[in-house]
Amino acid sequence: MRFAFPYTVHIGSICYALPIACLRCIAMSSLPFFSEPVSAGFPSPAQGYLDEHLDLNRLCIRHPASTFLLRVEGDSMVDAGIYSGDILIVDRSLEAVAGDVVVASLEGEFTVKELQLLPVPMLKPRNAAYAPILIGEEGLDLFGVVTFSLHTLRGGRRLPAGE
């Protein structure tokens, strides 16, 4: 998978991704939150009611100065619920552990895969059509840990790329 950074700054010929802390568009107020769960099985009587607000910044972003948004391109992680066009929230301050979905730099390009350490260290795609990437003795350049994946459910519309 390749990434197109939705929020970038160009300085000369270098393109930088902006951390969440730099984005004015993320500074939103809290949203209404219905705390009663919605049934995904058999329908149940509507018992939920609005009783609090949920701030998406507080829910999704623990370390604003170390958090970035990346757009996914490709289908190697579809079995993990990550699709082409999704926006990933990536926290660079977290230490990756086995089973985490991570963004790594391989030969100058970013890729998103599941980190597997045993029996052999590798980056594991979550689509059987792709082969794992073995991690050699030279190690791996991890960009960060994926904490959330945002994708639209409306007719294939892509999430906005930013301003």
Please indicate whether residue 76 is annotated as part of the active site: yes
Nearest to 77 by CA among 61, 91, 88, 89: 88
User: What value does the mean pLDDT take over residues 9-27?
Assistant: 41
Tell me how far apart the alpha carbons of residues 109 and 132 are, in angstroms, rounded to a whole number: 16
Distance in angstroms (rounded) separating the CA atoms of residues 70 and 146: 10
User: What average pLDDT does range 48-73 have in this prediction?
Assistant: 79
Question: Is 84 part of the annotated catalytic residue set?
Answer: no
pLDDT-based confidence at 2, cuts 50/70/90?
A: very low
Report the C-alpha dihedral over residues 69, 100, 138, 68, rounded to 10 degrees: 10
| Token output for 83 | 């699709």
- pLDDT of residue 26 exceeding 60, the answer is no
From 76, 84, 93, 105, active-site residue: 76
pLDDT on residue 63: 86
**pLDDT for 43:** 61
Over residues 81-97, the mean pLDDT reads 92
55 vs 50, more confident: 55
Q: What residue type is assigned to position 97 of the chain?
A: V
Distance CA 53, CA 34 (A): 8
Please report which confidence band the pLDDT of residue 127 belongs to, taking 50, 70 and 90 as the band edges.
Answer: very high
What's the CATH architecture for 64-150?
Ribbon (2.10)
Which of 29, 39, 113, 149 is flagged as catalytic?
A: 113
**How far is CA 23 from its chain centroid?**
17
Domain residue extents for the chain = 64-150
For residue 114, give Cα distances in angstroms to 19, 80, 124.
23, 9, 5
